[in-house]
Amino acid sequence: MARRNSLKDDWKFDAELPLTSGSSKICEVSIDSISLPASQPRRYFDTQKLQQLKDSICTHGILEPLLVRPLGDAGQYELVAGERRYKAAKEAGLTLVPVTIRELTDDEAVQMALVENLQREDLNPVEETEGILQLLRLKLEINLAEVSALLYRMRNEAVGNINQNVLISPEAQKIQTIFSELGSISWESFVTTRLILLSLPAEILESLRSGKIAYTKAQVIARLKDEVQRKELLEEAITQNLSLSQIRERIKVIRPRKEESESLKYRMQELNHRFQKTKAWDDPKKQKRLEKLLMQIEVILTED
């Protein structure tokens, strides 16, 4: 017997109602008839929260229908919004789920998915940043590089660096409207604090995407230029759940070591240059002393 959600009486299937462009209807469909789109705004889901949602669905059912759009094949649908509910329903063993079926074009489906995800509080900063950029790309009908360039020009004009009437252009006006409608962040703050996220080192960006580390901690760790040290500190911060102050203290210890190492390297290079220039090995008085020092260096370099 098919397992339905516990609120099945709230959803009435109307097979006779035809769908026209922009229209929608609510009904129950087989969860196996729903497929995920090739690209989703969200890539990572908190396993604990997903388990909590699964438990809630087992007890109360799905309280908000999934948004789907019909595919070419009869009775087949593509998920537009509600991937977390979809995954939890699968885990809960539901075979029938409530859906809102809406006729949408490819671009409309992507925009709906982006907006739906951007309105949720648990979206991590990287996903939110990438989602907003994709939404702007679709609304402005330009590529991502052009979106970022326009945002930077808007900011430069806003702070007085340039005066090219960018802020009063139709594209800039549209951007301001989109951010106002989203309500989660201003366009100025987005340019200042979020666009730089996408230029972070790959390992930090990946940790942010997967929710392993907080945005503020990631920014501080990213300041370490040495890749090995940065990766080690990142791993330590995640596994030991280091606080922001603890991360900063560790960086204070790491940086002097790095500076000392660079200083020693420079001094050795400088000494070698002077040694070659002065031809000190031709001086009998210095030769034995230099040989003794070289032997000591050789011993140090051969030590494990």
- The residue length of the chain stands at 304
Order the strands of the 96-102 sheet from edge to edge: 24-30, 96-102, 66-70, 77-81, 34-35
Q: What is the mean pLDDT of residues 131-135?
A: 89
Using left for φ > 0, alpha for ψ between -120 and 50, and beta otherwise, residue 61 falls in left
Q: How far apart are CA 171 and CA 39, in angstroms?
A: 26
Q: Which of 101-110, 260-269, 293-302 has the lowest mean pLDDT?
A: 260-269
pLDDT digits (tens, 9 = 90+) for 167-189: 889 999 999 999 988 887 899 99
Q: In the predicted model, is pLDDT for residue 254 greater than 60?
A: yes
H helix count then E strand count, the chain: 12, 5
Q: What distance separates the 2 farthest-apart alpha carbons in the chain?
A: 106
pLDDT digits (tens, 9 = 90+) for 14-71: 333 344 445 567 889 999 999 988 766 566 677 777 888 899 999 888 888 999 999 8
* φ, ψ for residue 79, nearest 5 deg: -70, 130
Which pTM was predicted?
Answer: 0.61
Q: How far apart are CA 137 and CA 114, in angstroms?
A: 12
